[in-house]
Chains A and B, each alone.
Chain A
Amino acid sequence: MNNNLLRGELVRLTAENPEVMAANFTRWNQDTGWLRFLDTQPPLMPSEKKWKEWLEKDMERASLDNFFFAIRTTESDTLIGFIGLFDLFMQHGDTLVAIALGERQYWGKGYGTDAMRIMLRYAFSELNLRRAGLIVFDYNPRAIRSYEKAGFVHEGRIREVIHRDGKRYDFLYMGILREEWLANGNMTS
């Protein structure tokens, strides 16, 4: 039995009060470079008050379709980003994962990969899902490398679906099956 399902080597996944996440989201969402890696929607620049309202409303939703975590470093307990499941279909055992590190100084150092490994362990050994997938934009090679390291396999590309700076970019779909995750020796680690 792993009694520390939410703890990895560099980070742990936590639940935070709405006001804590609202303050971070408000700050992170003013970083449009970050936002362009995360979302296709144009920036809305919501206020901190609006974020708090959304997050409070979110808490009222059934917990079974709301798997959202903050990411904190184990070293200094700094809140650096978030990770969560969406489009989760329990009856099919399938989910999508979304992750973002709002604190740029933690990019490219393994923090995101570590958080993703924890999320997959949770998805496969707590939720007993059969697979997990994600969407990443083709102009984000740093994220693609991280997902490959975490065990995700390329499943195809949605062509020319993003239009930014007068250019067209693709969505890459990646996925990992339960049996692939098990074959990587994850259950014993």
Chain B
Amino acid sequence: MSIDTQLFEGKLIRLAPIDHEKDPEVESRWTHDLTLSRALSRKPAMPQSVVQIKKKYEAIEKEVEEAKNIFHFTIRSKEDGRLLGYIRIEGIEWNHGTGSLKLAIGDPAERGKGFGSEALQCMLQFAFNELNLHRMSAVVGEDTPGALRFFVKHGFVEEVRRRKALLRDGQVWDSIHLGILQREWLDLSKERVDHE
């Protein structure tokens, strides 16, 4: 790989900064479908107003600047620049080389088109080739089997099942922790290149 390379570009998407003018309205609309925030967090899901989203963006940028253990990027279509979602690495512990991934494609109609896969691969490349992290974690609920399949497809290994840790819609579900090591991702990307 050339040193003069675009880490944040896939074929369909690119990772880009927050747009404080345009993004809040789009993301506020997404939050009114609670499916997404339920998939991303165990906290009670609530819709968010435009003003709340604006405040959240400011908080994110402040955290990025001050805590230095989080990277947050928006996912945009290369075609027309529209906001598709966001991806972040959080909770980085630099002394151990570890961090956690969160990924969201906001509009259900935009899912299943490969945007999330490209965003994830860009972010893993960033995590392992630029940040030199040793491993990345992700947590999914048993109630979102699509998210579990997604991470497994990309080489994440199921590591922990916190039994019955979620109670939703009157049912209990496991909380599943996944992980991928730097060397595992490097081996997989070598295979990908060999196939191309």
Give the B-binding residues of A (Cβ under 8 A). Answer: 40-42, 89, 91-94, 130-131, 133, 155-163, 168, 173, 175, 177
Please determine whether A158 and B159 come into contact, CB atoms closer than 8 angstroms: yes
Report if B163 contacts A (CB, 8 A): yes
With both chains docked as a complex, state the minimum distance between the C-beta of B131 and any C-beta of chain A, in angstroms. Answer: 14
Residues of B within 8 A of A160 (CB): 134-135, 181
Residues of A within 8 A of B157 (CB): 159
With both chains docked as a complex, state the minimum distance between the C-beta of B173 and any C-beta of chain A, in angstroms. Answer: 9
User: In the complex, A130→B172 CA distance in Å?
Assistant: 10
Select one of B158, B167, B177, B181 contacting A93, CB under 8 A.
B167
Q: Which residue of B lies closest to A96 (CB)?
A: B162
Contacts A92-B165, A131-B162 known; 19 new A-B pairs at CB < 8 A: A40-B95, A42-B95, A89-B42, A91-B44, A91-B167, A93-B167, A130-B172, A131-B165, A133-B165, A156-B160, A156-B177, A157-B160, A158-B137, A158-B179, A161-B96, A163-B97, A173-B160, A175-B165, A177-B164
Please determine whether A163 and B96 come into contact, CB atoms closer than 8 angstroms: yes
Report if B88 contacts A (CB, 8 A): no
User: In the complex, A93→B166 CA distance in Å?
Assistant: 8
Report if B48 contacts A (CB, 8 A): no
**Mask: chain B, 81-115; 1 = CB below 8 Å from A; 0 = not:** 00000000000010111100000000000000000
Please determine whether B164 and A163 come into contact, CB atoms closer than 8 angstroms: no
Supposing A91-B167, A155-B162 touch, asked if A163 and B95 sit within 8 A by C-beta, the answer is: yes
Residues of A within 8 A of B95 (CB): 40-42, 163
Q: Which residue of B lies closest to A172 (CB)?
A: B160
Residues of B within 8 A of A157 (CB): 159-160
Residues of A within 8 A of B162 (CB): 94, 131, 133, 155, 173, 175
With both chains docked as a complex, state the minimum distance between the C-beta of A63 and any C-beta of chain B, in angstroms. Answer: 19
Residues of A within 8 A of B44 (CB): 91
Supposing A41-B93, A163-B97, A163-B134 touch, asked if A131 and B160 sit within 8 A by C-beta, the answer is: no
Interface secondary structure of B, over-half rule: strand
User: In the complex, A177→B174 CA distance in Å?
Assistant: 12
Residues of A within 8 A of B137 (CB): 158, 161
Please determine whether B181 and A130 come into contact, CB atoms closer than 8 angstroms: no
User: In the complex, A159→B182 CA distance in Å?
Assistant: 12
User: In the complex, A132→B15 CA distance in Å?
Assistant: 38
User: In the complex, A163→B95 CA distance in Å?
Assistant: 7
Select one of B42, B159, B163 contacting A177, CB under 8 A.
B163
Please determine whether A156 and B161 come into contact, CB atoms closer than 8 angstroms: yes
Please determine whether A92 and B166 come into contact, CB atoms closer than 8 angstroms: yes
B residues 141-192 near A (Cβ < 8 Å) are: 157-167, 172, 177, 179, 181
